[in-house]
Structure 1
């Protein structure tokens, strides 16, 4: 039966007609304005409820509604008061609008449009600011989350339930238009996206300003991701923003606020020494949704399949003498070894056999229990713990998980990977931020392997300790740092610091910030000098981001102090949120139309606006419309995650066709290769063709290892970041052998494989 294309789970009309998004990027800060157009085509007044994702670190700073010619700007109020005001307005027949952050996760928001009369339209304007994360290839990533996947809410976890109607992305009954304007002091090299874009339009000859639009016909089957590349983007910068004229001096909004972007550069001598110790713990999501394809257009490679291939590269790249373990989780969790074991040929081979058997057959997404088990294991002396978490992020108890990582941040670093569309940015970024590591997102046609190997290189960097930040400012100016202390520094990675500047600075005054730290026993420091003169035309973006940073720190502190129910920290958050106009977990935006129009008569019809969800590959029976739906009674799995084990076991194993992974799988833990038929096959040769050219004075392992390195450099140089670490290990093994005739071997290997690889480039 045709329902006019307006589909919800109950075949009800959808009052949301369109979403228009305007993005303005200034250097590495984004301001996003979303306009949502609602129209009531029914014969009774409506309450429309829309639950949708936003970036986890966004600072929502404006919310307003326009009905006819009446414009209502929302105020930030304590959440309970806002709810009461909203309910009172609806019960008295007034129009009201409520916007609030979910209690479970800071990247989920709920928008309620109350008392929309028959035939009436309402235009909702929502504005937020957010920082852009730096990617491994130096691109800045902006993501407009469009896909909201069901989040697994474990039984007994904190917080209530947020209800949301969700439909497969192809059935979303409202349109999305998206346009972006980018400006920077540095020329814009390019803007890329997984979504189809109209061509980039430069606005000036210096190429420092440009616009770009989403091509017409965008489907809601993916988040809208932009990767922005500037020339010389790694320069430290400082932006000083003037306070709000109407705000009282001495307050956060009344004083100038500075945002520092620091890019510490480490001495090359220290960077060349890769750490050869550590305890590496890999935590792999095996929930049912990990069986979905990595990319809708390529149904062959699944998320779990890509994770298996990535684990192969990781295990081959680990240094001899370190320790490791692999955990996997769904509704339950498993580990390959009872506790972390020393990395050698035997343990590596045992782990790889178990990895090959891993399927997406463990049900829901219960990450807390395996994390607690990992943290319960005593740390190994002189082996710093490095945790790698791979998940598609469909987790409901995000705040609980992040708090647990934060509580244990003194004993480890956490590297997180969000896999596929709809992965929770609050979870992935929160794990890395609180765990002192680095976050990566893998979507669309991205290969997981290069991003993960980038993080392994970070993990193998010597840990930076004794970090301090000192300020040198004019005598009349004092500083209040709004950001939490810097606890982690990686080579070339940005650190952002926000600070409030109180007092009058003389004309042309300068400030200086010095970051000092110790790296592998070497004291180092980086300095940034900056003008205290406020920049023009920044609005209040820096103030709002600074307020958001401080609010998040205080929210963490409030959760830590639960049990000391004095409420002072919560009150401070509420005051700061109201003063800055920035959302928090304890406040909400409330707008009530108090114009003289007559009250709206009759009971309200509730209409849940469906959010797009990823439904790839197959349709799962019983997929609930509830975002945080409680698991069925007597069953620890929610229906959307309960993939039958026998179904997963019956799926045919994908043959390993990738020649790179075929070659890598043959490498020994020590770094060498054996001269065996499987190696010849991986090189595309027969056993005789490989064995005959071997110089007689050279042993078989040396010859095989040189051939493998020549093949990697000769045929796979375009993906060198994936195999670079295991090739370094192979080169170290070769150097330790002090083998004769190495030059002769390289020449013979080049002749055999048809390459022209120089001996020096092999690192031997």
Structure 2
């Protein structure tokens, strides 16, 4: 049980234990998080847990087990799910709802309401994910903040971590968390199976992310899976996975090396050496780059220079209406402490003072004017506001093979089409910097892509028209222009096709031949090449989630997100989206007695709050991505009475005669001063109570009062400013006090 103290009183947070089970099939992972809650108080509880996720994660399943009842959650439209949840709570049933946070896409908010005294509930939520490559190895990472309140010293709940790895090629390297052990290792001619397990009685012993790394002896082998589902009997889901690795093949017999808590070193792998490079930075210093854009560009440029590999050369070309070159030498500047320090000093003085934006001439100089035997890696940092976009893109497409152009779009208003097309034609990568906090990760990724070999002009074609088709890198497969696949970046295609078309399925892949490795991607696969997984929904849900991710990105800044299409895919394939929610309801024979207390379990050292709800709602300002909005809930009997009273009041209003309405309006003027005094006194009392609550360090409670039901042309919806009613114009005060929901009880 978790404990936290509020004003020297100890509150028990009802989490007994947690289990994390992960199943890995090559690069696909399903992660089941199982939490057991128990209510040993005398009141029904509403418990909220935040689960942080990455964009690529999909929520595939939610089940609730109470006693001998197991209820599987269903995906519904978000507003509809919320209404059903509130109705279930009001009727005394236990209900669970999970949805993406409205303000933070990377947070799943899971709430279990009406956990009755003495009742135990086991919640299981399934995450679906594609593994990433770190240190030239597959990486499964379970963040520490998956384990609620892990920093609280009084934590007492136990946890269990299990991982099963299934690989169709021999595993040669395995790194696992400390104190974990290999409990099973089996293999046959088709599949290698390794099971890891870690169990501890107290989660406080957990002080790092749980991370598993593994490599196979043939990382570049193509993986093909298919799956059928009872939920979609007329469809088949297929997956194709490609991982360019450019590893020198060895003839030695593969053997498994295991390590505890080791971060894999990519230098352990014998890569094919692409050769030495000169890194050329085209820096936009035109007038449109003034302010934050110029500052972000300078910070990015400094990060690039600090991160360059040893024995490399570099050059900086500033451009506006004209362009200037830092060194003017054919080979640029050698990378050493003196040249880097001098360049840093020069960058510090950069201003957006070079007039208009002319990219063509400096780009042409970088491609052809710098005469060197070194391979060229060009980085273009710009907001892309040019008048000759087509000519610039055409120039990028004429690059010889040893020249690559990587573009960095600066600011929210940058020309995304320009920076994207230049990178595509220049056989490079495109990154967008909207906020400076993203810089470090973007620079590291861009440099890695620049240093590493890649497959160019890649094209993948499906012979059948899929119901859904998506890929993790969001490339346009229909476009005739090929794209780049970089070393150690997994490329996944997932598609759902009619079952009747599966037998005739063909997937063809092609690319240019890499001159360093003398290899390319030139294959064709048929239905017979796909390994069939067990009956299930995993591939269907991952395909649906990838499709939702693609649809969530507008085609341009003038395009709208197709919310109805996303909602349809989400409900049909039962995978969570921003516009839907999971709902599970358990009908209780025993009705709750007492007030419903709310407790929030956070993924940080925080204090759970329990309060009674009044008609006044407060807004809690989140202090971190895992902070929650506390809503204060009254007893179920009170909620039912309020709903009934509200309905009776509305019915009575509909039957009012015009004469009665006129009398009521006159009474408003008579009682106005008294009502204003009552509301303002209530709000003053609220502010005083909130001032005391500010002593709790982890809370930031705003003194804004949300008055329900106010809606006219001037102030639509809820009042969301901290003004008292008496501070509003007189006509607005009259409207407020005459409205059917004018009472604000404190």
| Aligned position for 2:599 | 607
1:537 to 534, 549, 552: 534
Q: CA deviation at 1:455?
A: 6.1
Matches within 5 A, 1:236-315: 236-242=222-228, 244-247=229-232, 249=234, 255-264=235-244, 272=274, 275-279=277-281, 312=306, 314=308
Q: Are 1:410 and 2:420 matched, yes or no?
A: yes
Q: CA deviation at 1:73?
A: 1.5
| Aligned position for 2:79 | 80
Q: CA deviation at 1:27?
A: 1.8
Structure 2: distance between partners of 1:411 and 1:505 = 34
Q: CA deviation at 1:492?
A: 5.3
Matches within 5 A, 1:159-178: 168=151, 170=153, 172-178=155-161
Structure 2: distance between partners of 1:355 and 1:48 = 52
Q: Are 1:58 and 2:62 matched, yes or no?
A: no
Structure 1: distance between partners of 2:61 and 2:146 = 22
Q: CA deviation at 1:465?
A: 5.7
Matches within 5 A, 1:679-690: none
| Aligned position for 1:511 | 506
Query: How far does the alpha carbon of each residue in 1:569-617 deviate from its partner, in whole angstroms, 9 at most, with x for none?
Result: 211111111111111111110112235x143233211111131369xxx
| Residues 104/433 of structure 1: CA separation in 2 closer, same or farther (3 Å cut) | farther
Matches within 5 A, 1:421-500: 435=431, 456-461=447-452, 466-472=457-463, 481-483=469-471, 484-485=474-475, 487-491=483-487, 493-500=489-496
| Residues 315/471 of structure 1: CA separation in 2 closer, same or farther (3 Å cut) | closer
2:193 to 203, 206, 209: 209
| TM-score, normalised relative to structure 1 | 0.55
Q: How many pairs were matched up? A: 500
Q: CA deviation at 1:527?
A: 1.4
| Residues 318/19 of structure 1: CA separation in 2 closer, same or farther (3 Å cut) | same
1:526 to 510, 516, 522: 522
Secondary structure at the counterpart of residue 384 of structure 1:
strand
1:144 to 142, 145, 163: 142
On the 8 A contact 2:46/2:115 being kept in 1, the answer is yes
Q: Are 1:582 and 2:582 matched, yes or no?
A: no
Structure 2: distance between partners of 1:340 and 1:603 = 72
| Residues 550/66 of structure 1: CA separation in 2 closer, same or farther (3 Å cut) | same
Query: How far does the alpha carbon of each residue in 1:590-649 deviate from its partner, in whole angstroms, 9 at most, with x for none?
Result: 112235x143233211111131369xxxxxxx995774699xxxxxxxx99xxxxxxxxx
| Aligned position for 1:384 | 405
Q: CA deviation at 1:185?
A: 1.2
| Aligned position for 2:67 | 68
| Residues 552/109 of structure 1: CA separation in 2 closer, same or farther (3 Å cut) | same
Q: Are 1:93 and 2:99 matched, yes or no?
A: no
On the 8 A contact 2:17/2:36 being kept in 1, the answer is yes
Farther-moved stretch of structure 1 (90-99 vs 510-519): 510-519
Query: How far does the alpha carbon of each residue in 1:495-546 deviate from its partner, in whole angstroms, 9 at most, with x for none?
Result: 1111223352586x66342233587999965214243466141522211111
Structure 2: distance between partners of 1:196 and 1:461 = 36
| Aligned position for 2:550 | 553
Matches within 5 A, 1:694-709: none
Query: How far does the alpha carbon of each residue in 1:98-118 deviate from its partner, in whole angstroms, 9 at most, with x for none?
Result: 111223444321110101111
| Aligned position for 2:314 | 320
Q: CA deviation at 1:77?
A: 0.8
Structure 2: distance between partners of 1:76 and 1:501 = 22
Secondary structure at the counterpart of residue 121 of structure 2:
strand
Matches within 5 A, 1:103-252: 103-137=102-136, 139-147=137-145, 168=151, 170=153, 172-199=155-182, 201-204=184-187, 208-216=192-200, 219-242=205-228, 244-247=229-232, 249=234
Secondary structure at the counterpart of residue 49 of structure 1:
strand
Structure 2: distance between partners of 1:505 and 1:190 = 39
| Aligned position for 1:20 | 19
Query: How far does the alpha carbon of each residue in 1:679-737 deviate from its partner, in whole angstroms, 9 at most, with x for none?
Result: xxxxxxxxxxxxxxxxxxxxxxxxxxxxxxxxxxxxxxxxxxxxxxxxxxxxxxxxxxx
Q: CA deviation at 1:490?
A: 1.1
| Residues 354/538 of structure 1: CA separation in 2 closer, same or farther (3 Å cut) | farther
Structure 1: 5+ residue runs without aligned partners? 150-164, 250-254, 282-306, 326-337, 357-372, 390-399, 415-431, 438-447, 615-621, 631-638, 641-764
| TM-score, normalised relative to structure 2 | 0.57
Q: CA deviation at 1:212?
A: 0.7
Tell me: higher relative CO, structure 1 or 2? Use CA pairs within 8 A at least 6 residues apart.
1
On the 8 A contact 2:469/2:543 being kept in 1, the answer is no
Q: Are 1:502 and 2:498 matched, yes or no?
A: yes
Considering only CA atoms, is the larger Rg found in Structure 1 or Structure 2? Answer: 2
On the 8 A contact 2:45/2:596 being kept in 1, the answer is yes
Structure 2: distance between partners of 1:192 and 1:404 = 42
Secondary structure at the counterpart of residue 584 of structure 1:
coil
On the 8 A contact 2:462/2:507 being kept in 1, the answer is yes
On the 8 A contact 1:28/1:132 being kept in 2, the answer is yes
| Residues 226/23 of structure 1: CA separation in 2 closer, same or farther (3 Å cut) | same
Q: CA RMSD in A?
A: 4.9
